[in-house]
Structure 1
Amino acid sequence: MKTYVRARARRRPAGGFLAARRLRGDRGVSILEFTGFLPVLLLVGMAAIQLGLIGYGVNQAGSGARAAARAASQQGGPPAGEAAGHASVSGWLDPDVFTEQGSELTTATVTVTVPGVIPLFGPYEVTRRATMPTDD
């Protein structure tokens, strides 16, 4: 009876055993790449949030200025305009409302303070102004 000894096959084509043996040394590289890139991702995310907050502050300041100018021109006085300006802006933005009433035009100026999200960058002040004709 003949005994056949099978020779061990060593596969060397791409994707074979030798390529798999070489890849074992690359374990953990992806987590290192992610860890190195994570601060950049966080900074970009925080910058996007900061831009969103600034846009919201601009929107709120514009709405407050229009409301203050409208109320001051129709109801005849800066106190009514300042109250309307404070009421139309979110309280956490800490609005500063100033109305000036002339004989023909009423102008309202609203300044809000947008908090800084990124550490090292302080709060931002946004100012908007609106002018309406004074009702007699």
Structure 2
Amino acid sequence: MLEFAGFLPFLLVIGMAAIQLGLVGYGANQAGSAARAAARSESLAPGTAQAAADAAASAWLDPEAAGGGGDAVTYTVTVHVPPVIPLFGDGWDVHRTATMPNDRENEGS
């Protein structure tokens, strides 16, 4: 019983670190999806990138889209992943970038 009680804090920290790693992976996946959505939306209709990024990612990650383009539209989305254990600081920012062809350039053809 004493051995288990002494080892339990280590097991809890390892479990919470695994959850944190999963959250960072989830944040990276959501940032990638939001970047693709923002770039595609902006390539079709100007000024719609942030709304597309917001719709494509979980709201609690607070996605921020930045970018623009000419022949191709490139957007980078940053999401903030909060910490599970407060000792890890105030979380991580995860960035993902996507590029789409600019379909507005081809409208007149």
Under a length normalisation based on structure 1, what TM-score does the superposition of the two structures give?
0.73
Unaligned 5+ runs, structure 2? none
Q: Is 1:65 matched with 2:32?
A: no
Q: Is 1:125 matched with 2:93?
A: yes
Displacement, 1:91? 0.5
The structure having more radius of gyration, on CA atoms, is: 1
Quote the residue 2:50 is aligned against: 82
CA deviation vs aligned residue, 1:13-63 (integer Å, no higher than 9, x gap):
xxxxxxxxxxxxxxxxxx100010000000010000000000000000000
Displacement, 1:101? 2.2
Quote the residue 2:73 is aligned against: 106
Under a length normalisation based on structure 2, what TM-score does the superposition of the two structures give?
0.90
Contact 1:65 1:85 in 2 (8 A): yes
Contact 1:110 1:127 in 2 (8 A): yes
Displacement, 1:119? 2.4
Counterpart Cα distance in 1 of 2:62 and 2:68: 20
Q: Which runs of 4+ in 1 moved over 2 A?
A: none
Q: Highest relative contact order (Cα 8 Å, sep 6+), 1 or 2?
A: 2
Counterpart Cα distance in 1 of 2:63 and 2:21: 19
1:94 to 41, 62, 67: 62
Output the aligned Cα RMSD. Answer: 0.9
2:22 to 47, 52, 56: 52
Counterpart Cα distance in 2 of 1:33 and 1:107: 55
AA aligned to 2:63 is P
Aligned residues: 103
Unaligned 5+ runs, structure 1? 1-30
